Amino acid sequence: MVLRAGRRLPNYRLLMRFTHSVTESFPLLNTGFTQNRYYVFVGKKNKLSKERNKLNKKLILGVLLLLIVAAVAFKMLSGGVSNAKVELNELTIGQIVEAAKQEGRVDSVGMPDSWANWVETWSDIKAEYGLEHTDVDMSSAEELAMFEAEKDNATKDIGDVGQSFGPLAKEKGLTKAYKTSYWDDIPSWAKDDKGDWIIGYYGTIAIITNRKLVPNPPKSFADILKGDYMVTPGNMAQATQAQCALLAAAIANGGSESDVRPGLEFFKKLAQAGRIDKGEPNVSRLEKGEIACYFVWDYNALGYRDQFKKSNPDANFDVCIPSDGSVQSGYATIINAYTKRPHAAALAREFILSDEGQINLAKGYATPIRKNVNLPEDVKAKMLPTEEYAKARPIADAKAWEETVNTLGAKWQEEVIAFSK
């Protein structure tokens, strides 16, 4: 509609700016409106021009409303709806894969390359689905704190936390449920009912000893008490690995998940003898010979031993499961409730529980949670002999252990560190 003797309405300029921005963002909504010229005659005494003005205003407002509705609808269809409302368990694998590819990346916490061979899993996910990845290594407690602190602008999508932290994360509302297609293969103790947390692998507390510092390495907790070398327990307030080392010491001395006093007494004796290394336990210190005896998961201990040997043929580290008792515990993936990339996080969990993902973890010396995965013979050969695990057992009372962990940091300070020399 073009009336030559006229001018554009002010509303027209507003509409042009809006439709230009909309059609730039959503090409499918380009109706051609911006390519037509709409003029109205505005003679002061022309009733027809006034009526046409009214009609054009209605037309412009109608088109404006239509474009707004269309833009919102397009945004919802393209995934612009709040990720908090995404129900992953209602989606097919195909839908998750396609949406994850659109999201383009998955960022994790507590899943570094050096731990349980995560490096191969992230590499495979990138090769197969094109997802970029970064990780920030931190303790289980720090992971939950980050998810909570960043809930208004989440930067991380998925985390790997100690078994006792899975239920805690759900309780705090920090998880998004996704069962995966392997749900029936996962033992009931290794998951919650909706998939807010799922254990992907587990380990057994082991002792790694530098033979250059301790020529006769200990094979039990009892052996450790007989020595004179420093012992590195780790961060008892935050690290699941350290907490389970204390539980293992308790079990070896007659304790349990609800009674860790025998474990605290064990470490108190070391503290009184001035044998507690309170330094930061890390791979670098271990490799440099700054740590003599360290409690770690078997998969970490075996990985460190082989890694050090490759870089230094003279490296000599002993790894064993304490013969008087140890504990087995898993690590669970949790999908950040506030993630901006829920589908990529779900796809990562799906891959971790696949045959390929489980074998990758086994290559990193971890024990896969799925028992129906056939491990290659060369992978099996890297594990410790089965008989070493004779006195190791899983956490039997998860609820009691969860309650114990809540007060363990304080008890450690009061009943162990307070007696350090």
Q: 231-262, pLDDT tens digit by residue?
A: 999 999 988 899 999 999 999 999 999 999 99
Q: Where a domain ends, among 77, 111, 133?
A: 77
Flag whether 83 is in a domain: no
Q: What is the pLDDT of residues 276-332, one digit of tens each?
A: 999 989 899 999 999 999 999 999 899 999 999 999 999 999 999 999 999 999 999
This prediction's pTM: 0.69
Percent of the chain residues topping a pLDDT of 70: 80
Flag whether 86 is in a domain: no
| 328 in the same domain as 181 | yes
Task: With both helix axes pointing from N to C terminus, report the angle between 240-252 and 398-415 in degrees, rounded to the nearest 10.
Answer: 90
**Bridge partners, residue 320, by sequence:** 207
β strands within 243-358, DSSP E: 293-297, 317-320, 326-335
Q: Where a domain ends, among 77, 102, 121?
A: 77
Flag whether 103 is in a domain: yes
pLDDT at residue number 225: 98
β strands within 211-310, DSSP E: 231-232, 293-297
β strands within 72-150, DSSP E: 105-109, 132-136
| 342 in the same domain as 404 | yes
* Contact between 276 and 224 (Cβ < 8 Å): no
| 136 in the same domain as 283 | yes
Q: What is the pLDDT of residues 118-149, one digit of tens each?
A: 999 999 999 999 999 999 999 999 999 999 99
DSSP readout, 16-39?
Answer: HHHHHHHHHH-GGG--SGGGS---
SS3 413: helix
| 190 in the same domain as 70 | no
| 332 in the same domain as 198 | yes
Q: CA 182, CA 179: separation in Å to the nearest integer? A: 8
Distances (CA, A) of 60 to 21, 64, 79: 16, 6, 29
| 68 in the same domain as 104 | no
Q: pLDDT class for 410, splitting at 50, 70, 90? A: very high
Q: Any idea of the CA torsion for 228, 229, 234, 235, to the nearest 10 degrees?
A: 60
The neighbour count for residue 97, using CB atoms within 10 Å, is 17
Q: What is the pLDDT of residues 205-236, one digit of tens each?
A: 999 999 999 999 999 999 999 999 999 999 99
Instruction: Report, as an integer, the average pLDDT of 94-103.
Output: 98
| Residue from 330, 329, 335, 338 nearest 180 by CA | 335
Residue 278 corresponds to which tokens in the numbers above? 């309170």
Reading phi first (left if > 0) and then psi (alpha if -120 to 50, else beta), residue 420 is in: beta
Task: With both helix axes pointing from N to C terminus, report the angle between 93-103 and 118-129 in degrees, rounded to the nearest 10.
Answer: 90
Q: pLDDT class for 404, splitting at 50, 70, 90? A: very high
Flag whether 150 is in a domain: yes
| 147 in the same domain as 70 | no
Flag whether 313 is in a domain: yes
- Backbone Cα Rg of the chain: 30
Residue 259 corresponds to which tokens in the numbers above? 């009674």
The C-alpha angle with vertex 417 and arms to 230 and 300, in degrees rounded to 5, equals 50
Flag whether 82 is in a domain: no
DSSP readout, 161-185?
Answer: EETTHHHHHHHTT-B-----TTGGG
* Contact between 64 and 15 (Cβ < 8 Å): yes
pLDDT at residue number 66: 52
Q: CA 118, CA 34: separation in Å to the nearest integer? A: 52
Instruction: Report, as an integer, the average pLDDT of 194-200.
Output: 98
* Contact between 180 and 199 (Cβ < 8 Å): no
| 404 in the same domain as 299 | yes
Q: What is the CATH number of the domain that holds 280?
A: 3.40.190.10
| 63 in the same domain as 119 | no
Flag whether 3 is in a domain: no
The neighbour count for residue 1, using CB atoms within 10 Å, is 11
| 123 in the same domain as 43 | no
Task: Assess whether pLDDT exceeds 90 at residue 94.
Answer: yes
Give the domain range for residue 245: 92-421
Flag whether 373 is in a domain: yes
pLDDT at residue number 259: 97
* Contact between 109 and 135 (Cβ < 8 Å): yes
* Contact between 210 and 301 (Cβ < 8 Å): no
pLDDT at residue number 85: 83
Q: Where a domain ends, among 77, 111, 127?
A: 77
| 342 in the same domain as 201 | yes
Q: Number of folded domains in the chain?
A: 2
Which residues are CB-neighbours of 395 under 8 A, at least 6 positions away?
A: 163, 247, 257, 327, 328, 329, 401
| 197 in the same domain as 72 | no
DSSP 219: S
Q: pLDDT class for 421, splitting at 50, 70, 90? A: confident
